[in-house]
A and B are shown apart, each in its own frame.
Chain A
Amino acid sequence: MTSTGFILQQLVNALFLGSIYALIALGYTMVYGIIELINFAHGELFTAGAFIGLIVLSALQSVGWVDSHFILTMVIVFAMAMAYVAVLGVALEHVAYRPLRDASRLAAILSALGMSIFLSNGMMLSQGVSDRAYPSIFGAEGITVMGAKITNGQIFIILLAVALMVALQLFVHRTRLGKAMRATAQNRTMSRMLGINIDQTIRITFIIGPALGAAAGVMVGLYYGAVRFDMGFIFMIKAFAAAILGGIGSIPGAMIGGLIIGGVEVLWAAFLPSAWKDVTTFTLLILVLYFKPSGLWGQGDVEVRV
Chain B
Amino acid sequence: MIRQEIKKLAVYSVFLAILILPMVGFRTTHFEAGRAFKVLGLFIAILVANFVAKVVRSRRGEDQLQKVSLGDRISLRFAEIPKIYTLGLLVAVAAVFPLLADNYMIDVGITCLIYVTLGLGLNIVVGLCGLLDLGYIAFYAVGAYTYALLNLRFGVSFWAALPAGVLMGMFLGCVIGYPTLKMRGDYLAIVTMGFGEIIRLVLNNWDKLTAGPNGLFGMQKPTLYYPGFHDGGLHLSVYSIKTLPALYYMILIIALLTLVGIRRLNDSRIGRAWVAVREDETAAELSGVPTTWLKLLAYALGAGFAAVAGAFFAAKLSYVNPNFFIFMESCIVLCIVVLGGSGSIPGVIVAGFILIAVPEIFRELQNYRMLAFGAIMAIMMVLKPDGLIPARRRRVQMAERRQLAGESNE
Contact = CB atoms under 8 A, between A and B. Distances in A.
Interface string B346-379: 0000000000000000000001101101111111
A32 B186 contact: yes
Contacts of B201: 276, 278-279, 282
A94 B377 contact: no
Interface string A180-224: 000000000000000000000000000000000000000000000
Interface string B63-81: 0000000000000000000
Nearest to B197: A282
B276 interface: no
B205 A286 contact: no
A100 B25 CA distance: 27
Q: Which residue, B180, B370, B401, B405, has most C-beta atoms of chain A within 10 A? A: B370
Interface stretch (B187-195, B261-269, B293-301): B187-195
B28 A114 contact: no
A283 to B, nearest CB: 7
Chain A: number of interface residues, binned into ranges: 35 or more
Interface string A269-299: 0000001101100110111011001000000
Contacts, number: 170
Contacts of A61: none
A240 B202 CA distance: 21
Contacts of A94: 11-12, 15
A279 B202 contact: yes
Given A278-B197, A279-B202, A90 B187 contact: no
DSSP class of B's interface residues: helix, strand, loop or mixed? helix
Interface stretch (A66-74, A102-110, A171-179): A102-110
A302 B184 contact: yes
B49 interface: no
A114 B327 CA distance: 13
Interface string B14-29: 0110110011111110
A110 B194 contact: no
B197 A114 contact: no
Nearest to B27: A126
Q: Which residue, B132, B338, B385, has most C-beta atoms of chain A within 10 A? A: B385
B186 A110 contact: no
Contacts of B22: 122, 126
B381 A91 contact: no
Interface string B323-339: 00001100100110011
Given A105-B185, A275-B205, A118 B378 contact: yes
B183 A108 contact: no
Contacts of B15: 90-91, 94-95
A119 interface: yes
Contact of A113 (B377, B379, B405, B410): B377
B382 A96 contact: yes
B132 A109 contact: yes
B189 A109 contact: yes
Interface string A30-43: 00100011100000
B23 A240 contact: no
Contacts of A282: 194-195, 197-198, 201
Contacts of B405: 102
Contacts of B189: 38, 109
A211 B253 CA distance: 51
Nearest to A38: B186
A298 B61 CA distance: 52
Contacts of B194: 237, 241, 282, 285-286
Nearest to A108: B381
B393 interface: no
A101 B194 CA distance: 26
Nearest to B184: A302
Contacts of B193: 237
Interface in A113-136: 113-123, 125-128
Contacts of B205: 275-276, 279
A244 interface: yes
Contact of B374 (A32, A105, A114, A240): A114
A240 B382 CA distance: 25
Contact of A106 (B132, B183, B190, B380): B132
Contact of A289 (B23, B24, B179): B179
Question: Nearest 4 A-B pairs (CB), nearest first?
Answer: A122-B23, A117-B374, A114-B377, A118-B374
Interface of A: 32, 36-38, 87-88, 90-92, 94-96, 99-123, 125-128, 233, 237, 240-241, 244, 275-276, 278-279, 282-283, 285-287, 289-290, 293, 302
13 contacts: A91-B18, A100-B382, A102-B405, A102-B410, A106-B126, A114-B335, A114-B375, A122-B22, A126-B26, A237-B190, A275-B205, A279-B205, A286-B191
